[in-house]
Structure 1
């Protein structure tokens, strides 16, 4: 992180490096989150340095507001400005709590409320069609002599059949559990409890949770383990539940490609990424009568407010159906 702070006065650069260490080790944030925070704060500290600050204790509310105003005049979105304001507030709170600054100057810092767009989701029929399309594709591959444009060898055909079984299991498990794609690709074989039909997931902040899945997903995963995984497995596969065609742990890009391809087989369905299946699972749970707290726990949301967006999705779908069906809507 020092490289990003080299242009800063020594006191600010040191504070930034120490805060990055705090985020990585004390808060255990992901590398993606760490880069985002450090990038935002590098921008902030460069700005306050131009205003004369040389140490953490020199920061004041006027400097923070000046930095946010610059974001706005530079055309940054409301969402970006809101995120950067949050990064600044968390940073100044840490400075004060660790004695690096005499007060938390960022506590009163306001930020624009980001516009929240409703996520696209599949209907129940579209979700069923997606999973049916994946199963039909697997059957077609199983019955083909030469598979998916390969050289026609038996080994290539077996690899294609195994990959098709894997894709069915991946789609079924994503929709059944609502887990994130990063959580899915990190799963090991032992994370599945076949007797209880639950999977142990390591989510954001390395928080562990247990998520149930249904019988169709259980059948698809069992078939993948029984008929497909051994075909793709190599000495380097380790305990990974889902494998790529070369035997390593499956890559998130492979999962995204699979989701896009199979959704393309569903007429009029929105083109979703794997996260869209998570949105879909949450929406269908709420529409089926699950309470908000349960869905929050299943999804691994730290805040109930994050889960509440799905109640808006359900309400909007209800309004849309009403407008289309009622003669006096």
Structure 2
């Protein structure tokens, strides 16, 4: 980010130590006109603020200059702007995964686990075979979420494709080994290591295209690594999950994070009113 700014200033013939707030404003405008996302521009401006604050602390530029750069307003970043799939699109994605190869069987299990658990990518790719549990009725996956929080996630319909994957891969007894593993370069089997964080994202894009969905245009900004989690949360909400149920499902520490997913409508107030059962039948007053 910083080198991009330095190169931009060099093209303009401006020494980085002679930069003013006006130069930063022009840089911001150039980034937006080039089509960069607001979040990207905001991040780059944050880097510049920190850099010029450090330069001022070392006496290389005036504090007034650093302060002026620090108050250059970043573009608004829409909260919860990560695009998600609709229920129909998610089903189409699952149906587009071929199950006549080990990789396809693995991918179907992986996508089902994401859609059912709503876990972050890091939690799923770090899971081991031994983190699976069954009480004889339901199947669960123990994951380590954000801030090292341990959670037990019910697998429901994801349990069956996961069992098929374990049997086909022959890794069911390797309790200490990774649950989801990359294919060997020659395609003959799986390597005994965890998937990297980017693999699920690449797979979603791959199967979106196979299902006739353009992943680069989804939501106007393209699908991201957080899209699977958001898809699961949104589907739970669409099917009647309450705010507190969704908070527990998503593992949000702050309920305000969960509230972002809920779109408030006037009809919500009417529904709430109809849930009130304080009634005295037959008395209407005069």
Could you say whether these structures have the same fold, taking a TM-score greater than 0.5 normalized by the shorter chain as the test?
yes
Are the counterparts in 2 of residues 193 and 199 from structure 1 also a CA contact under 8 Å?
yes
Q: Distance in 2 between matches of 1:281 and 1:189?
A: 23
Q: Does residue 1:213 correspond to 2:170, yes or no?
A: no
| Two-structure CA RMSD over aligned residues (Å) | 3.4
Provide closer, same or farther for how the CA distance between residues 124 and 71 of structure 1 changes in structure 2, counting only shifts above 3 A: same
Q: Distance in 2 between matches of 1:300 and 1:41?
A: 32
Gaps of 5+ in 1: 1-36, 54-62, 80-113, 143-160, 316-329
Q: Does residue 1:163 correspond to 2:163, yes or no?
A: no
Q: Does residue 1:302 correspond to 2:257, yes or no?
A: no
Q: Distance in 1 between matches of 2:205 and 2:61?
A: 51
Identify the match of residue 167 of structure 2 among 221, 226, 238. Answer: 226
Q: Does residue 1:263 correspond to 2:226, yes or no?
A: no
Of structures 1 and 2, the one with the larger relative CO (CA 8 A, separation 6+) is 2
Number of the residue aligned with 2:96:
133
Q: How does 1:40-189 map to 2 (within 5 A)?
A: 44-50=53-59, 67=66, 69-73=68-72, 77-78=74-75, 114-116=77-79, 118-134=81-97, 137-138=98-99, 142=100, 161-189=101-129
Q: Distance in 2 between matches of 1:283 and 1:185?
A: 22
SS at match of 1:311: coil
What's the CA shift string for 1:228-251, capped at 9, x where partnerless?
2549x9x9x952101111312112
What's the CA shift string for 1:69-105, capped at 9, x where partnerless?
41344xx6346xxxxxxxxxxxxxxxxxxxxxxxxxx
Are the counterparts in 2 of residues 120 and 276 from structure 1 also a CA contact under 8 Å?
yes
Are the counterparts in 1 of residues 80 and 260 from structure 2 also a CA contact under 8 Å?
no
Q: Distance in 2 between matches of 1:49 and 1:169?
A: 54
SS at match of 2:212: coil
Q: Distance in 2 between matches of 1:250 and 1:120?
A: 23
Are the counterparts in 2 of residues 78 and 115 from structure 1 also a CA contact under 8 Å?
no
Q: Distance in 1 between matches of 2:49 and 2:153?
A: 34
Shift of 1:129: 1.0
Aligned residues: 206
Provide closer, same or farther for how the CA distance between residues 255 and 39 of structure 1 changes in structure 2, counting only shifts above 3 A: farther
Provide closer, same or farther for how the CA distance between residues 39 and 193 of structure 1 changes in structure 2, counting only shifts above 3 A: farther
TM-score, scaled to structure 1: 0.54
Q: Distance in 1 between matches of 2:51 and 2:134?
A: 47
Number of the residue aligned with 2:198:
253
Provide closer, same or farther for how the CA distance between residues 291 and 171 of structure 1 changes in structure 2, counting only shifts above 3 A: same
Number of the residue aligned with 2:268:
none
SS at match of 1:50: coil
SS at match of 2:153: strand
Q: Distance in 2 between matches of 1:300 and 1:68?
A: 38
Are the counterparts in 2 of residues 200 and 208 from structure 1 also a CA contact under 8 Å?
yes
Q: Distance in 2 between matches of 1:266 and 1:204?
A: 31
Shift of 1:297: 2.1
Which structure has more helix as a fraction of its residues?
1
Are the counterparts in 2 of residues 188 and 240 from structure 1 also a CA contact under 8 Å?
yes
Q: Distance in 2 between matches of 1:259 and 1:227?
A: 22
SS at match of 2:168: helix
Number of the residue aligned with 1:311:
262
TM-score, scaled to structure 2: 0.61
Structure 1 moving runs of 4+ over 6 Å:
37-40
Shift of 1:252: 1.8
